[in-house]
Amino acid sequence: MNQLEQLKAFTTVVADTGNFLQLAQFAPRDATTNPSLILKAVQSSDYAPLLKDTVQAHRGQPLDQIVDQVLVRFGLEILKVVPGRVSTEVDARLSFDKAATIARAHRIIGLYEAAGISRERVLIKVASTWEGIQAARELEREGIRCNLTLLFSFCQAVACGEAGVQLISPFVGRIYDWYKKSAGSAWDEASNAGVSDPGVKSVTQIFNYYKKHAIATEVMGASFRNVGQIQALAGCDLLTISPELLAQLQASEAPLQCVLDADAARAAEIAPVSYDEAGFRYALNQDAMATEKLAEGIRAFAVDAGKLDQIILGL
């Protein structure tokens, strides 16, 4: 078996792309999108007609409603290819507005349900700010499943588990990027690879904590820079992987071992942790990497959301 097939024996494989025409060749169970991936897709000649048709069908509606129609249209196309779930993201510009996040999630789910898709096949992606996590807490109580994204720290993961969210997406590659940049010329790639990669270590800590304390929230490693990071997280609940890295895994037949071990985590000594709002904000503040990458990620997604707005306005 190739490495992609081997990985699927340990971990649910998810495709991280807005390019649904690429999906079938990798046979992922689920798929994730984000504003940057959708922006990239709509600028391709393969998807420009879909964007134009969707915008024209809803011309005259407020811009934010048309944007959600576009996001859901991509999600519907993805769901024709994958047997499981699609993740659709709430506008990153609402990351600090609990009420607006909940309202946007309701609208997105409503659009999917109007198209005949049950809410069990949709994950609403929300940034892992305190407000986003509390919005997700309320949405989960309504049966709207959430994927908490832009997650870089242990305190974010703990708060998500306490909120009962369906799934979290810790960003392996962006954590790696920060530590590599911070180290500068002192960075030693070999000593920070595989299980020693700082992003891999972060996800491993979260995975072990959840399993030890029987937290049902799914852990889905995301944002990979190389296949070594993926290989070092074999055994994680899910991994969402770009088509480029899926192709690399598919091209290799080297043996792949399961690394993360839920049974070992349950037997380990790992103390429980809890955060109220003040404790969460302080813990996040104390983690320079997570603070910077969360802010940077929200800004970047907001910029791409704005670019998508302008493309839609220009049609």
- The per-residue pLDDT for range 25-49, each reduced to its tens digit, is 999 999 999 989 999 999 999 999 9
Of 111, 114, 38, 31, give the one whose Cα is nearest residue 309.
38
Below-50 pLDDT ranges, the chain: none
Q: pTM to 2 decimals?
A: 0.97
Partners of 147 in the β-ladder: 125, 167
- The answer to whether residues 90 and 72 touch, using CB atoms and an 8 Å cutoff, is no
**237 Cβ contact list (under 8 Å, min separation 6):** 11, 12, 207, 218, 219, 220
* Catalytic sites, residue numbers: 125
The pLDDT, as a whole number, for residue 24 is: 92
Token reading at 84: 């499981």
Confirm if 32 and 49 have CB atoms less than 8 A apart: no
Determine the pLDDT at residue 194: 97
Whole-number Cα distances in Å, 122 to 15, 84, 141, 167 = 14, 9, 15, 12
Return the pLDDT at 35.
84
Q: Which domains are seen in the chain, by residue range?
A: 3-313 (3.20.20.70)
With beta carbons less than 8 A apart as the criterion, state whether 67 and 104 touch.
no
> What is the pLDDT at residue 199?
98
Sign of CA dihedral 287, 298, 108, 224: negative
**Where do the H-state alpha helices sit in 172-225?**
172-183, 198-212
Tell me the two tokens of residue 24.
């079938």
pLDDT reported for residue 63 = 97
Q: Tell me, what's the pLDDT at 276? A: 98
Backbone angles phi, psi at 286, to 5 degrees: -75, -15
Cβ within 8 Å of residue 252, ≥6 positions away: 2, 3, 227
